[in-house]
Amino acid sequence: MKILFLNYEYPPLGGGAGNATAYLLKEYSHIAELEVHLVTSSADAEEHHFSVGKNINVHSIPIGKDGKNQHHQSEKDLLTYAWRGYRFADILLKKGTFDAIHAFFTVPCGYMAMRLSKKYHIPYIVSLRGADVPGYSERFTLLYSLLRPLTRTIWARASNVVSNSSGLRILALKTNPTQEIAIIPNGIDIAEFKPSGEKEIDGYVRILCVSRLTTRKGINYLIEAMRLLLVTDTNRKIELWIAGEGDATVSLKQLTRELGIESKVKFFGLVAHENLARHYQMADIFCLPSLNEGMSNTMLEALASGMPIVATVTGGTEELVGDGENGFYVDQKSPEDLAEKLEKLIADADLRKRFGEVSRARAEKMSWKNVALSYYGLYQKIVKK
């Protein structure tokens, strides 16, 4: 079986969707009956072609990236990928027979898949990832209204539409209530991300947020919560660690200075994937105050690392976190609620330990192997049909 895979994000570019693709391809490399060709974006000005195992081929097409802001792809980047990626995919399809197309994101990849499907008479799948679903991000409100008719068409013509969480599926149904949407959640590598007893013994409690730094992630509210936690004692042994980059980086750093807590907030920038596990292991609490999510890969990584989690209820949060079981839910845009819930964990080491053990147990039931097998089963189903 031969699959054309389309995703404009692939490490080092992008965030959760890129990492999810990398994990999927790694698992696909163990399925001998499967051959996959991924068409993605290059992180530099060169075209790259390499293999993952013997049966997985990655084709990175230059879209004008210069090594900066690799977490964020602009509208120009997406348009460039859509044009150049489509041309390259078209060449691949002319050279040999493919059985199906798998597109991550409705636009631009789903649109590319729809056109290629019509031209070559092969079925396609669309995986909903988050920002491609109308209503997901306030930043794209106008764009969503313009693209909604096209989005409905792309989904309607697909053999299958798949969401990575029940929350994202519910949001997608607001665009088309009659659309059939399956759920295949993200997985987690529990061998790579795991607890460690080797934390720094210095009395500090460290709150970690690993995220793309954009307004939608609500990290400004977390920084404001830190100020509330420090208001009675600026020398408290607590720190906020923020790992990631994005277009909100400058404003978030400025906010820490304005609040007078810059010494308590550490910005690590874009952390190489191979170094991420250590950040989770050295921190004590994971917090993601996002305004909207699909299925957060970083929350899954925190889960596997045995961390208590404080998060807003959006996307797949309720599928990963039980309120009062392995973490706490918080209201969106509420520094006060964040501070209150974080304080409970800061003040109680036994609670952090108990919640962390539940998190790890939940993670052990999930794996990228199961996710890959679910998608492989879907490929078999649509090809047979």
Query: Of all residues in the chain, what percent carry a pLDDT higher than 90?
Result: 78
d(CA 243, CA 267): 6
For residue 70, the model assigns a pLDDT of 66
Model confidence, pTM:
0.81
Fold of 2-187+367-384: Rossmann fold (3.40.50)
Q: Does domain 205-363 have CATH number 3.40.50.2000?
A: yes
DSSP 346: H
Residue 197 has pLDDT above 70, yes or no: no
Q: State phi, psi for 340 to the nearest 5 degrees.
A: -65, -45
Side-chain-side CA neighbours of 278 within 13 Å: the count stands at: 7
Average pLDDT over residues 96-118: 96
Total residue count of the chain as it appears in this document: 385
For residue 202, the model assigns a pLDDT of 79
One DSSP character per residue, 166-197 reads HHHHHHHHTT-TT---EE------TTTS---S
DSSP 332: T
For residue 141, the model assigns a pLDDT of 79
Q: Among 183, 188, 164, which Cα is nearest to 298's?
A: 188
75-83 contacts: CB < 8 A, separation 24 or more? Answer: 77/8, 77/41, 78/8, 78/107, 78/108, 79/108, 81/8, 81/41, 81/108, 82/8, 82/108, 82/111, 82/112
- Which alpha helices (DSSP H) does the chain contain, by range? 16-28, 75-95, 111-120, 141-157, 166-173, 219-230, 249-258, 273-282, 297-304, 317-320, 335-346, 349-363, 368-384
For residue 143, the model assigns a pLDDT of 85
For residue 198, the model assigns a pLDDT of 66
Residue 72 has pLDDT above 80, yes or no: no
Within this chain, domains 2-187+367-384 and 205-363 share the same CATH topology: yes
Residues 79-106: tens digit of each pLDDT: 999 999 999 999 999 998 999 999 999 9
Residues 212-259: tens digit of each pLDDT: 899 999 999 999 999 999 998 989 999 999 999 999 999 999 999 999
Q: Domain boundaries in the chain?
A: 2-187+367-384, 205-363
DSSP 269: E
**Torsional sign, CA 61, 165, 320, 223:** positive
- In the structure, what pLDDT confidence band is assigned to residue 74 with cuts at 50, 70 and 90? confident
Average pLDDT over residues 130-159: 90
Lowest pLDDT segment from 261-270, 292-301, 340-349: 292-301
